[in-house]
Amino acid sequence: MTSAGTLKTSRSELDLDRPNIEDYLPTGSSIQQEPRGKLRLHDLLDLSPTLSEAAGAIVDDSFTRCFKSNPPEPWNWNVYLFPLWCCGVVFRYLILFPARVLVLTIGWIIFLSSFIPVHFLLKGQDKLRRNLERSLVEMMCSFFVASWTGVVKYHGPRPSRRPKQVFVANHTSMIDFIILEQMTAFAVIMQKHPGWVGLLQSTILESVGCIWFNRSEAKDREIVTRKLREHVQGADNNPLLIFPEGTCVNNHYTVMFKKGAFELGCTVCPVAIKYNKIFVDAFWNSRKQSFTKHLLQLMTSWAVVCDVWYLEPQNLKPGETPIEFAERVRDIISHRAGLKKVPWDGYLKYSRPSPKHRERKQQNFAESMLRRLEEK
Amino acid sequence: MGTASSMLTQYDIEEVQEHCNNLFSQQEIVSLYQRFCQLDRNAKGFISSDEFLSVPEFAMNPLSQRLLKMVDGINFKDFVAFLSAFSAKATSYHKIELIFKVYDSDRNGKVSFKDILEVLKDLSGPFMSDEQREQVLSQVLKEAGYSKESSLTLDDFIKVLGQSELKMDVEIPVD
């Protein structure tokens, strides 16, 4: 199910729907020039362009590249570097890790012992309770960031609380949310997860105002759009943070942005996040690790280093479609964070491409054949 | 990534290289192995159809189903042998042979009118009617000196396709 899955796509909408994939595919893989001249048996039997494209995709393709976690170069391959590395491992696992767990536990205790009373005792005074809960969540996120020794540099003006604005950011891991949340209490829209993460989602995150969706539910999309609109209109609600890619990407590429965040009729504030892989790769490869394992990996590394840029708010330009708007913002974010753009829908991780891509190729072939048949 | 078989030994590389008639360099084989491991999600030692189809660029290729019949459940050695037809060092004969195999789905060594029509159907989809396809094929066959009833062999393919250079090369990215 692509992002246009529930819309009726007419022929003309087909082209407006997404940028031309052929512009992004490596030049060798597209048919170089339109073959000319009378159609002969040779031309009909020659499958080489199509086969080359298929083989090219088998050998390397821009979609799989987006989700490849590149292991860092090992530096411990030397007689004296190796013992140094071993000392580092011992320090990280036996000293740093327990210290961090301690910090995190203290953080949880402080948080829960403040949050629960505030939540239940201040039921009447909504505004005060909200502000307190907001500060508490920000504090808890700071504890989380401290527990992996996060070195986060924020650039740009801090987000302000105003109605009719949404924040969009590129997505690498769920810790993106925590890193942004420690600075500003955002409301977020997330895929509902199972396990302890889901529990967190339904209790604490509920207080900052979160919206849930289920990727696999087709009808969900309309409900979600409605909830988004409602949230953005409310003046009291926390600013909404959306990750329009819809899935975690490896921080070298960006996949297509879903247009949901861009058709709400409000200002879009882009946020770019770039991780420095020097100590650990923060990309959460959800196909390879559970979130718990990912967190443990972070907690046993030296540090998580990243840059966050709050970029200039953007509005829909007159005559621009939401999809063009989404692409323009993706351009801004990719440029700032040094990421390459690919024309794929992130949800292709979970489903097959829609038949209309194949149909476009078939249409080109058929038209070329019929046209050349007429030539003498 | 890591099962024990994630690392290729020099012996393995040479064995694979021999299997593909030296059409790939050792570096290319190592690259191909990395790619193979990437596609083979649970390190089974072979790639299933589903895993091939998880590459969107492959899934949207009109000939993907035909190719899947040839590569479903393929192990690494055969994976390299299959791709060796796309090496720049491969001969025209080798490339034409692969094209012939794509047409000859029932492996009887002959490509009939119906076989070609089926491939044309994959390539043109709903944008040409069956009559149009038959008409186009009959016409070009006649002009080339064949008839509707003739079955083409590999030699016929070589005669028809061997006249001009076949551009069917894929570069293997080497880090």
pLDDT at A217: 66
Query: Does the beta carbon of B49 lie under 8 angstroms from any beta carbon of chain A?
Result: no
Which range is least confidently modeled, A44-48, A193-197, A297-301, B145-149?
A: A193-197
Check B123 against A50: CB less than 8 A apart.
Answer: yes
Q: How would you label A211-224 residue by residue, b for 16+ Cβ within 10 Å and e otherwise? A: bbbebeeeeebeeb
**Closest chain B CA to residue A374:** B136
How many Å apart are CA A2 and CA A274, to the nearest integer? Answer: 26
pLDDT at A3: 38
Average pLDDT of B83-106?
92
pLDDT-derived band at B6 (thresholds 50, 70, 90) equals low
pLDDT at A33: 52
Number of CB atoms found within 10 A of residue B31's CB: 18
In 3-state terms chain B splits into helix, strand, coil percentages (rounded to 5) of 60, 5, 35
CB B124 within 8 A of CB A369: yes
Distance (Å) of CA A319 to CA A38, A322, A328, B21, B98: 43, 10, 13, 58, 50
How many Å apart are CA A207 and CA A187, to the nearest integer? Answer: 9
Average pLDDT of B75-79?
94
pLDDT-derived band at A353 (thresholds 50, 70, 90) equals confident
| Of residues A145 and A235, more confidently modeled | A145
pLDDT at A2: 37
Report chain B's mean pLDDT, rounded to a whole number.
Answer: 89
pLDDT beyond 50 at A94:
yes
| Of residues A21 and A106, more confidently modeled | A106
pLDDT at A268: 93
Architecture of domain B92-161: Orthogonal Bundle (1.10)
Helix intervals (H) in chain A: 11-17, 21-24, 41-45, 48-59, 62-65, 81-90, 97-121, 126-147, 175-181, 195-208, 220-233, 291-299, 322-337, 355-374
In 3-state terms chain A splits into helix, strand, coil percentages (rounded to 5) of 50, 15, 35
pLDDT beyond 90 at A330:
yes
Number of CB atoms found within 10 A of residue A86's CB: 11
CB A230 within 8 A of CB A237: no
Q: Is the dihedral of CA A121, A127, A130, A134 positive or negative?
A: negative
pLDDT-derived band at A284 (thresholds 50, 70, 90) equals confident
CA distance B33 to chain A (A): 10
pLDDT beyond 60 at A154:
yes
So where are chain B's domains? 10-86, 92-161
Percent of chain A whose predicted confidence (pLDDT) is above 70? 88
Give B-chain residues touching A61 at CB under 8 angstroms: 55-58
- Enter the tokens of residue A4: 């246009």
Of B41, B58, B125, the CB nearest to A57: B58
pLDDT-derived band at A12 (thresholds 50, 70, 90) equals very low
Q: DSSP labels for B43-92? A: --SEE-HHHHHTSHHHHTSTTHHHHHHHHTTEEHHHHHHHHGGGSTTS-H
Give B-chain residues touching A43 at CB under 8 angstroms: 140
Surface-to-core class of residue A299, CB atoms within 10 Å of its CB (0-12 exposed, 13-18 middle, 19+ buried): buried
The β-bridge partners of A151 are: A305
pLDDT at A224: 80
| Of residues A122 and B23, more confidently modeled | B23
pLDDT beyond 90 at B74:
yes
Give B-chain residues touching A54 at CB under 8 angstroms: 58, 61, 63-64, 67
Which range is least confidently modeled, A68-82, A320-334, B35-49?
A: A68-82
Phi/psi at A179 (nearest 5 deg)? -65, -40
Check A51 against B98: CB less than 8 A apart.
Answer: yes
Phi/psi at A188 (nearest 5 deg)? -135, 155
CB A244 within 8 A of CB A168: yes
The β-bridge partners of A191 are: A213
Which range is least confidently modeled, A124-138, A330-344, B30-44?
A: A124-138
The angle subtended at Cα B106 by Cα A370 and Cα B131, nearest 5°, is 25
Is it true that domain B10-86 has CATH number 3.30.413.10?
no
Among residues B100, B67, B90, the alpha carbon closest in space to that of B167 is found at B90
pLDDT at A1: 36
- Give pLDDT tens digits for A17-37: 444 555 555 443 444 455 667
Give B-chain residues touching A59 at CB under 8 angstroms: 32, 35, 83, 86, 170-173
Of B39, B71, B168, the CB nearest to A48: B168
- Give pLDDT tens digits for A197-247: 778 777 777 778 788 777 666 567 778 888 888 888 877 788 899 999 988
CA distance B107 to chain A (A): 17
